[in-house]
Amino acid sequence: MKYPGNILEVGSLLPDYMGFIFWGKSARYFDGIMPDLPKSIKKVGVFVNESIPVILEKTAKYDLQAVQLHGQESVEFCLDLKQVLEDDNGKQVQIEIIKVFSVDDTFDFEVLKPFEAVCDYFLFDTKGKLPGGNGTTFDWKVLENYPSSKPFFLSGGIGINEMDAVNEISKTNLPIYAIDVNSKFEIEPGLKNIQLCRDAALQRLYPKK
């Protein structure tokens, strides 16, 4: 999300999460005014190989409830961030850590194991030229090899035409926690088509029999 008016339009649909990209090379880079949103919506800051001080600064400035790490962040980096986000009693504050992995047909799920203890969720996106927003869907059959119980976000080129497939994969035993949509719901980078968003929300609420 990028534009305040559009943010409020999409916010009226009450998505569980709303993402804001803090990677300067992105056409969706957010550096504007954050409008007031319903408390039920978790604001997610998307970062690519960013430093912990910058992540903390953006988290405080925009009152983020989650951070999405979309680069080559290491296990050690995630652990350091997790510890920084803990209070004096060692209890993690309510800021979720989502670690992104770019997936193709040869993805090795073994790389996930060291990350299980240092993040709250995984996010699987399509491997492409950019860290994200490539607008293509990977073959979800590779998820049959998912070895973990860690809940994950499913992402990568999901549009209105993929809603039936989304409803089908949601019926499996995979721990799919959320569906991440972006480029296929846009008029231009960062500007969402509110009617498509409404249509998708209705299809998720009332899937075809």
Residue 91 has a pLDDT of: 56
Residue 132 has a pLDDT of: 54
Residue 85 has a pLDDT of: 80
Residue 86 has a pLDDT of: 67
DSSP string, 89-141: TSPBPS-EEEEEEEE-TT--GGGGGGGTTT-SEEEEEE--SSSS-------GG
DSSP reduced 3-state for 57: helix
Residue 205 has a pLDDT of: 57
For the chain, 209 residues long, give each residue's pLDDT as a single digit of tens: 999 999 999 999 999 999 999 999 999 999 999 999 999 999 999 999 999 999 999 999 999 999 999 999 999 999 999 988 865 555 556 799 999 999 998 999 999 999 999 999 999 999 766 665 556 789 999 999 999 999 999 999 899 988 889 889 989 999 999 999 999 999 999 999 999 999 888 876 555 54
Domains of the chain: 4-205 (3.20.20.70)
Residue 127 has a pLDDT of: 78
User: Structure tokens of 111?
Assistant: 């790389």
Residue 44 has a pLDDT of: 98
Pair 39, 12: CB distance under 8 Å: no
What stretches of the chain show up as alpha helix (H) in DSSP?
A: 4-11, 52-62, 75-84, 163-169, 194-205
Question: How deeply is 141 buried, as exposed, middle or buried, from its count of CB atoms within 10 A (0-12, 13-18, 19+)?
Answer: exposed
